[in-house]
């Protein structure tokens, strides 16, 4: 999915068939777990920090590095690989043991060898913007999984890899990913970059930002949604995507309370 090394550009449909299997008996087992750049999604960070039993801030400090995208000025979190020649994944137990966080592995690892992308289109008389998902193969010279006899369709592979929850959470994120800076205009300032990064990845801090600042005095949020965000990380993350779209002026995804000037409260600590 995000940042795979080699891709085939032909778009696949859910019923496209292919043969693939990865297991300890394959000679290339875990070779794909090194020397790779993995851009994490917000849901990746949520699953991994919960798996490790640490806060989102702690996870970001320990396991990620930030890179700013030139086309959007968005700061993205990348998995920090090992400081060795192979640049091995920090969650790799060894060449034979495999992944220590397998059931909560990032979506790019989960989908492999299938990649997933999104196309932005305009449809209908009113030219409404819609986002359409598509799939493609990722092939690396060292990967021998394609030589196995187990047959899949793209859909059956997605089901086997338990991708439904990731797909649901990542759809709102995909829309954010596709935003670009306006031609000839300056990119995001540092304040917006800080808020973007917090709302995208640092969910524990974002919760404090909402409930320990004047946020709810500024934005009109229903009592029902407030209650959900206090207890449900998924609900909070979906709200965070709405906040990012409002912050980036992508859409009027949030409403200000009557009489409130459009000024955001300072990010939480």
Cα distances (Å, whole numbers) of residue 223 to 49, 218, 219, 228, 261: 28, 14, 12, 9, 22
Extract the tokens encoding 192.
């917006």
- Torsion on CA atoms 52, 24, 15, 39, rounded to nearest 10: 40
Give 70's DSSP letter.
T
Angle between helices 56-63 and 42-52 (to 10 degrees): 100
Distance (Å, rounded) from C-alpha 87 to C-alpha 81?
5
Residue 250 near residue 175, CB atoms below 8 Å: yes
Contacts 24+ apart (CB under 8 A), 184-187: 187/72, 187/73
At residue 264 the predicted structure's pLDDT band, cuts being 50, 70 and 90, is low
- The tens digit of pLDDT for each residue in 107-164 reads 999 999 998 888 877 777 776 777 778 899 988 888 999 999 999 999 999 999 999 8
Q: How many Å separate Cα 121 from the centre of its chain?
A: 21
E strand or H helix at 131, and its extent?
strand 128-137
Tell me how far apart the terminal alpha carbons of the chain are, to the nearest angstrom: 32
Contact in structure between 32 and 143 (CB atoms under 8 Å): yes
pLDDT of amino acid 139: 82
Structural contact between residues 41 and 105, judged by C-beta atoms closer than 8 angstroms = no
190-247 per-position pLDDT tens digit: 999 999 999 999 999 999 999 999 999 999 999 999 999 999 999 999 999 999 999 9
Do 15 and 145 meet the contact criterion of CB atoms below 8 Å apart? no
Contact present, 165 and 46 (Cβ < 8 Å): no
For residue 100, give every residue at least 6 positions away whose Cβ sits within 8 Å of its Cβ, in sequence order, or none. Answer: 91, 92, 93
pLDDT band at 7 (very low <50, low <70, confident <90, very high): low
């Amino acid at each position: 999915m995000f940042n795979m090394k080699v891709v085939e550009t032909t778009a696949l449909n859910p019923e496209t068939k292919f043969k693939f299997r990865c297991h300890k008996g394959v000679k290339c087992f875990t070779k794909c777990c090194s020397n790779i750049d993995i851009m994490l999604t917000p849901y990746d960070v949520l699953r991994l920090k919960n798996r490790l039993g640490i806060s989102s801030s702690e996870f970001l400090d320990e396991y990620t590095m930030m890179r700013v995208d030139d086309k959007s000025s968005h700061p993205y979190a990348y998995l920090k690989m090992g400081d060795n020649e192979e640049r091995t994944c920090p969650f790799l137990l060894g060449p034979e043991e495999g992944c220590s966080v397998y059931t909560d592995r990032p979506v790019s690892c989960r989908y492999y060898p299938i990649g997933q992308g999104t196309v932005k289109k305009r449809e209908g008389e009113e030219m409404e913007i819609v986002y359409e998902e598509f799939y493609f193969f990722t092939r690396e010279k060292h990967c021998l999984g394609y030589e196995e006899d187990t047959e899949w369709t793209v859909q059956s592979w997605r089901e086997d890899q338990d991708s439904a929850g990731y797909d649901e959470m990542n759809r709102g994120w995909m829309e954010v990913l596709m935003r670009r800076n306006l031609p000839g205009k300056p990119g995001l300032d540092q304040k917006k970059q800080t808020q973007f990064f917090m709302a995208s990845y640092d969910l524990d801090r974002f919760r404090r930002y909402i409930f320990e600042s004047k946020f709810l005095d500024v934005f009109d949020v229903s009592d029902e949604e407030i209650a959900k965000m206090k207890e449900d990380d998924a609900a909070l993350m979906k709200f965070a995507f709405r906040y990012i779209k409002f912050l980036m002026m992508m859409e009027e995804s949030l409403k200000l309370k009557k009489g409130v000037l459009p000024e955001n409260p300072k990010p939480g600590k």
